Structure 1
Amino acid sequence: MNSTFSVAVKNTIPQYCVLPQSGFLDLLNKDLISNAGEKYRKEIIYRRNSSRIERIHFFDKETGVRIKTNYYDYFDDNKLKSVDEYDEKTGEKVRSTNYTLYKSVTEYNKKSGKKLKTVNYSLRDENKIASIHEYHSIYDKVSRISIFRPDGKSISMVKEINPLTDRVEQCINYKKDSNVISSVSRYEFQNNKMVKTTCYYRDNTESVREFKTPVISDIEKAKTAKLIDNLFKKNLNFKMLQL
């Protein structure tokens, strides 16, 4: 890898994303439900003035710690809406799975309770990853988004976001069907406006684009201020609207 591009890529993404581990997709944990009568106590909550189930809590019979909660659709309690999973020792939430519109899985830090990442799956195929959102450990806001190709396996692009401004400050593009970085784009801002874009490529070339902010003269500023002042006058006429 060439020097300029190497510098641009170095430490850009130490670990661009963490793919689901083995067993991660077994979200319903069927063994847990089937053995609920043996090891776990089940608490069913019904909707008010209705025989429809709203949610079911699963508790460890020995410790009393809640280890899972299933939430069901308002109109059809045979349809699972979401699942919250908890640490069996601490009772802290470790994972939430949402099935509304499309499947998404959010993992939480066991100690802080803050979000670690959210894996969003394809609307057409819930076994294919569409994107992964990773959260800043301090600000609890999205700091990195990994966008996957239609195959749900290879990454197309990674956006790095400043959690304080919610602006994309860096974009990493990958070669098709590989984890090789093809280019890195960095964005610079001043006064909430983009002023410069720098792109680094694998062939050790780079392109720079600067956006100049138009200079407004004192005369133009005075005219604008006068126009704004006229807009609040009672006897407004067409002449007052002219600069």
Structure 2
Amino acid sequence: MRMIFFAALSLAFSRNSFLFSQQPAEFTEQEIKIIQSCEENITNKVYSPVEADKCLSYLHAENDKLLDKLYDKKPDGTRRAELILKYENALKELGDFYEDNPREDLIQKKLIKLLEFDYEAEGCSLCDIGMGPQPEKIGEWAGKHAPAHSNKTLSAIKTWKALPNVRTQSLGKYGYTEANWADKTIRQRAATLVADEILQEELTKDNRKELRRAADDILFLLDAGMQERLEEYFKDSKEPA
């Protein structure tokens, strides 16, 4: 579905669109280059926040002169303007976020919001253009466009390679691999890691209720296999005297 959407998006951004081929005199050569540059940041999968910022600055210059001109060319120009604003603003927002030198926990919260909460509620703009919902895609983006924060990002999204060997070995006993781990969301990964920690604990009279509560809090984020393991863990472990 994402591939179909991206193909449609590329078609909408086609250089040979009706907008420029039929009404060239209404846009200067420089304006056409600006608009095409805005679109190519998306269609060529560059996804540069710097280019997004430049694009938006050009469009909004002189009280939105170029943006208004593009919007006025209905329906093609209006649609192109809407798409440019939607995706370039999303890229600029992400770039601005990293400019503030965020901590790892804030990166995790931000990406959960973008790739999970927004995705479920109103749609994920970054996912539309191929930067999600798989967390690794944002990790690749950070390596290119926010390299100073790349390691923090990989750790925040819990990539398989960012996990300590002791964790991947433990998860491997339950059938997890780098391949099926990549299918999980950030919250699912974090929950699975918590479940793994719980399963390694020895139940005592003092910690049983706390561990049960922790398990109940994350149960909805776990796959069926891990849910079953947790239930068996508490069922098979006798209540300490």
Compute the TM-score of the two structures, normalised by the length of structure 1. Answer: 0.29
Structure index of larger Rg:
1
Higher RCO (CA 8 Å, separation ≥ 6 residues): 2
Q: Point out the structure with the larger helix share.
A: 2
TM-score (norm 2): 0.29
